[in-house]
Structure 1
Amino acid sequence: MLTEDVSCAPAAPAAWPALRIDRGRRGSLVDQIVAAISAMVSDGQLGAGAKMPSVRQFAKCNAVSTFTVVEAYERLHQLGLLSARRGSGFFVARSLPAPAPSSAPTQPGPASEIDVLAPDLYTGQAEALPVGAGWLPPEWYGETTILDAVRHAMKIPAGRLRGYGHPLGFPALRQHLAGNLSAELFPVDPDQVLLTHGATHAFDLVLRTLTKPGDVVFVEDPGYGNLLALVRHHGCIPVGIARGAQGLDMEELARQAAARHPKLMFVNTVLQNPLGTSLSQQDAHRLLGLAERFDFWLVEDDIYRELAQPGEASLAAMDGLRRVIRVGSFSKTLSPALRVGSLCASRSLMPELLRVKMVGGLTTSEINERAVLDAIGTRGYRRMVERLARQLDDARESAIASLRGIGMAPLAQPRGGMFVSAGWPDAPSPGRDGRAIADAALKAGILLAPGDFFTQRRPASTWFRFNAAYASEPRLLDFLRAQH
């Protein structure tokens, strides 16, 4: 049992509370640190605005590695409990209500409320059928390829364990990505590629680099639900631009840009989450024109491109990274557990993006990046992705047919990928909206993602985003049939 020496704590209005780490307890050190700090925030020991120890201070005082502290702080940041300020470190972002006192011990039971940041949507460990989740069955990813790559990456030379790795990310993987992008989409040098802890980390770096509280940020509506929470966390004002079966509403975009003067816009060009649609070449050109006219950045969420047909529109290719920042990831084609993403930007932006990355977490995991390179560098990787795309095609067709069979209609016809968004045409009513149905589903052991996770507007109908791999399960269909 380790107890932190309070003399190691940074200057603060109140002494830093003692932190105990039990190395004999099950669970990682990161999990224990996250749980301990969350509890301190919840019971008021750490109030909003309190400054956290630096990564090095925390590591020294608790006899843990800086890598462990970085991962714990990053997880607390993603949970919204910590915020990072340039040049100042980490601070408690908000207070949590203390748990209500109870006269009797509580018994563990099923969750009663579903939320866009519900841990079960991301952990993959719950017993609930993950119909609303963003991962595929492990066997679909090609487990042998991934496990072999991880084993090979663990044989990292001992000398590489002495440092943090290259700040931009593992050079060989950046070289590989730059080569592939240059051959298939647009010319880019390895020094214009920055590796991240997945796509959400890349979005966070962009927001921290290019925005300040009060800035207007355009997002698609419906769009990636976690992005809305991230934009708000940075104090920015998200403005939804309607996206439907026909693409983005360009007229609304022009009106809003003229009135709101956005700093940037996030766009999921190919196989959009949650609709599964792709922007046409014409709309992509119009979008670039509006960004030029109203002087805002475009952040292209391009994580599904490998699952799409060749020739789909690419904002980065059309623009040449002048005002487009391209974000990629391997979570959909390898495994979400590897947490490796990439960010491509102009040479003028890269130094500041790199500085912000190092302020918030130093470097990314070279071991994970080596594993990704080992996996995507094999001859079988391209065949594995093609097989995955075919499996998804079959699963989507089956899902759409199954959902139609119980009276649900797709919001749009997906062009590929892993999601189908569908619902009933009637308007939601109190107690019969998407969130209420999702809460009931969770109690029945089914994890759903209701439409209001993805939109700022009040949904006109009751709809859900379905993971195609799980959307034809009889248990799900029986549950949905009983709701209507």
Structure 2
Amino acid sequence: MMFFQPIRGGGAPTLVDQVAQALQSAMESQLLRPGMALPSVRQFARNHGLSTYTVAAAYGRLAAQGWLAARPGSAYRVVPRAAARAAVRAAPWRPPKMGESWLLADVFADHSIPIKSGCGWLPSEWLNEAGLQQSLRQLARVPAAQIAGYGHPYGYAPLREHMLGVLAERGVAAQPAQIVLTQGATQALDIVIRTLFRAGDTVLVELPCYANLLPCLHLAGLQILGVPRTADGLCVETLQRLAASHPVKGLFVNTVLHNPTGTSLSMANAFQVLQVAERHGFWVIEDDVSRDLLPGIGPMLLALAGTRRVVHVSGFSKSITPSVRVGYIVAADELAAAFVRTRMAMSLTPAEMLERTVYQVLRQGRHQAHLARVRDRLGEAHETLCGLMDEHGFEVYARPGAGLFLWARPAGAWRERGAARLAETALRDGIWLAPGGYFDPTGADAGWLRFNVAYSLDPLLWKFMRRVGAA
């Protein structure tokens, strides 16, 4: 049974939204009657040329809203209309309350928001599903005895060896003992913080900066100072002034495709940042998690300065899938050993089964072709979204043309009211916006918002902006 024809591009709703809406309409019109079983996730995906991730997300949303019922080992079935209405009345959807705890924790468990313009990941239908499935099939053939115990303290050796080749292509000559695998890049940052710094130490972050970094720094009791992020990197004058007037121990920086502004350091700016760090003797922690989304090349601080001054952090959530929590640290031998001791105290060895999955995906020839397609789609989304921003009078901070993020703010009264109030209003319409205050160590709200370009082309988002006068 064909329910609809997917619409791709051109500002169409996400495929998850399209599937959910088509099924809900079919149930309301009695095309799908109470008690009927839906096609399996795999069958529906095959019939409509969709990813199984997309279909599973749509089925899950309808089950959460009371339209479908699912039992272990059984198909999804249509819930009788009276029961569905009762479920909706018993648990009507209410927008969550905006706040730091929701943004940093609850949002990952909240699948009820239709338009996720503020999120930090790729749409499920953009993922390399075939590569992941092949990797999981290969993992299933590994004898249980090989994966039953704890992994190696440094991480899965074949993946670390693979990363040596990747680093070499980027101009970094490293050894296996310099690479430490972690459960995601955020854990890598936490390990670095716990190892290098002590409560009361002063560290520098970008303004704005990666939102999840801030709670890690606060939990460690560190003093946080901000360095403005410009279109081509860090404000070197501010960096020099702060380093000269404070006992700075470290600087955290996104070298390319900065979260949240999307900008990248120019080569000249990268050299200047490293010169200030060398002059004042502080660590540079390079968060490089989005490099795989960068077309062409960009400066890499680890390649420019080596491990004597730079600690390099990255991961695979942006290029493979967020659910594969695998990151890594590249550092000098002795420091890498210290990071391993910290990680072992926190969580013992990393998750080898996930590391094996990532390794199998990376070694397949199709992964680079997948990344090329993702870069192209992101470039097209940037061009379209910038056009929508211009049409609706938004101020765009920079136009990187690549990566996940665009940093912009509306004109008119909403600039004075603040991005947080706009985000709260949008949430009542099922739209998740990411206000700039979450990316500032002081919580300052100057009206800026982080837009994920892959999720921000939905016409309903821009209809909302016009309705509330933000455009």
TM over 0.5: yes
RMSD: 1.9
Superimposed CA distance per residue, residues 322-375 of structure 1 (whole angstroms, 9 cap, x where no aligned partner):
110111111111100001111100112011110000000001111100000100
- For the residues of structure 1 that align with 2:110 and 2:363, how far apart are their CA atoms? 27
For residue 223 of structure 1, give the secondary structure of its aligned residue in structure 2.
coil
Superimposed CA distance per residue, residues 174-210 of structure 1 (whole angstroms, 9 cap, x where no aligned partner):
0001111112231111221111111100000000000
Matched length: 379
Letter in 2 for 1:438: A
Superimposed CA distance per residue, residues 8-59 of structure 1 (whole angstroms, 9 cap, x where no aligned partner):
xxxxxxxxxxxxxxxxxxxxxxxxxxxxxxxxxxxxxxxxxxxxxxxxxxxx
* Residues 218 and 240, structure 1, Cα contact 8 Å, conserved in 2: yes
TM-score by length of 2: 0.77
For residue 404 of structure 1, give the secondary structure of its aligned residue in structure 2.
helix
- For the residues of structure 2 that align with 1:389 and 1:130, how far apart are their CA atoms? 20
Indicate the residue corresponding to 1:277 in structure 2.
263
When you count helix as a share of all residues, which structure comes out higher? Answer: 2
* Residues 427 and 461, structure 1, Cα contact 8 Å, conserved in 2: no
TM-score by length of 1: 0.75
- For the residues of structure 1 that align with 2:378 and 2:295, how far apart are their CA atoms? 13
* Residues 378 and 453, structure 2, Cα contact 8 Å, conserved in 1: yes
Letter in 2 for 1:454: F
Superimposed CA distance per residue, residues 76-115 of structure 1 (whole angstroms, 9 cap, x where no aligned partner):
xxxxxxxxxxxxxxxxxxxxxxxxxxxxx99763213243
Superimposed CA distance per residue, residues 199-231 of structure 1 (whole angstroms, 9 cap, x where no aligned partner):
100000000000111111110001101111111
- For the residues of structure 1 that align with 2:185 and 2:443, how far apart are their CA atoms? 27
The answer on 1:443 being equivalent to 2:428 is: yes
Structure 1 residues 95-110: aligned runs within 5 Å: 109-110=94-95
Indicate the residue corresponding to 1:355 in structure 2.
341
Structure 1 residues 25-424: aligned runs within 5 Å: 109-115=94-100, 117-118=102-103, 119-123=105-109, 125-424=111-410
Please report how far the alpha carbon of residue 256 of structure 1 lies from its aligned counterpart in structure 2 after TM superposition. 0.4
Letter in 1 for 2:410: W
**Percent of residue pairs bearing the same amino acid type:** 37
* Residues 117 and 226, structure 1, Cα contact 8 Å, conserved in 2: no
For residue 120 of structure 2, give the secondary structure of its aligned residue in structure 1.
coil
Letter in 1 for 2:456: A
- For the residues of structure 2 that align with 1:134 and 1:106, how far apart are their CA atoms? 28
The 3 A distance-change label for structure 1 pair 398 and 107 is closer
* Residues 424 and 461, structure 1, Cα contact 8 Å, conserved in 2: no
Which is worse superposed, 139-148 or 393-402? 139-148
The 3 A distance-change label for structure 1 pair 429 and 330 is closer
* Residues 114 and 438, structure 1, Cα contact 8 Å, conserved in 2: no
Please report how far the alpha carbon of residue 320 of structure 1 lies from its aligned counterpart in structure 2 after TM superposition. 1.4
Please report how far the alpha carbon of residue 427 of structure 1 lies from its aligned counterpart in structure 2 after TM superposition. 7.3
* Residues 216 and 238, structure 1, Cα contact 8 Å, conserved in 2: yes
Indicate the residue corresponding to 2:27 in structure 1.
none
- Structure 2 unaligned runs (5+)? 1-89
For residue 469 of structure 1, give the secondary structure of its aligned residue in structure 2.
helix
- For the residues of structure 2 that align with 1:107 and 1:385, how far apart are their CA atoms? 40
Which is worse superposed, 124-133 or 272-281? 124-133
Letter in 2 for 1:448: L
* Residues 303 and 328, structure 1, Cα contact 8 Å, conserved in 2: yes
The 3 A distance-change label for structure 1 pair 427 and 108 is closer
Please report how far the alpha carbon of residue 454 of structure 1 lies from its aligned counterpart in structure 2 after TM superposition. 1.1
* Residues 295 and 375, structure 2, Cα contact 8 Å, conserved in 1: no
Please report how far the alpha carbon of residue 259 of structure 1 lies from its aligned counterpart in structure 2 after TM superposition. 1.0
The 3 A distance-change label for structure 1 pair 376 and 160 is same
* Residues 154 and 367, structure 1, Cα contact 8 Å, conserved in 2: no
| 2:437 corresponds to which of 444, 448, 452 | 452
* Residues 428 and 461, structure 1, Cα contact 8 Å, conserved in 2: no
The 3 A distance-change label for structure 1 pair 192 and 220 is same
The answer on 1:477 being equivalent to 2:466 is: no
Superimposed CA distance per residue, residues 260-305 of structure 1 (whole angstroms, 9 cap, x where no aligned partner):
1211111100111111111011111111111111110001011111
Superimposed CA distance per residue, residues 211-262 of structure 1 (whole angstroms, 9 cap, x where no aligned partner):
1111111100011011111111110011110012242110000000111121
Letter in 2 for 1:453: Y
Please report how far the alpha carbon of residue 483 of structure 1 lies from its aligned counterpart in structure 2 after TM superposition. 2.6
Letter in 2 for 1:260: H
- For the residues of structure 2 that align with 1:190 and 1:427, how far apart are their CA atoms? 55
Indicate the residue corresponding to 1:46 in structure 2.
none
Letter in 2 for 1:112: K
For residue 343 of structure 1, give the secondary structure of its aligned residue in structure 2.
strand
For residue 292 of structure 2, give the secondary structure of its aligned residue in structure 1.
helix
Please report how far the alpha carbon of residue 458 of structure 1 lies from its aligned counterpart in structure 2 after TM superposition. 6.5
Letter in 2 for 1:182: A
Indicate the residue corresponding to 2:83 in structure 1.
none
- Structure 1 unaligned runs (5+)? 1-104
* Residues 179 and 328, structure 2, Cα contact 8 Å, conserved in 1: yes
Superimposed CA distance per residue, residues 47-77 of structure 1 (whole angstroms, 9 cap, x where no aligned partner):
xxxxxxxxxxxxxxxxxxxxxxxxxxxxxxx
Superimposed CA distance per residue, residues 101-155 of structure 1 (whole angstroms, 9 cap, x where no aligned partner):
xxxx997632132436523543473333111001111121121111221232233
Please report how far the alpha carbon of residue 460 of structure 1 lies from its aligned counterpart in structure 2 after TM superposition. 6.8
Please report how far the alpha carbon of residue 440 of structure 1 lies from its aligned counterpart in structure 2 after TM superposition. 1.4
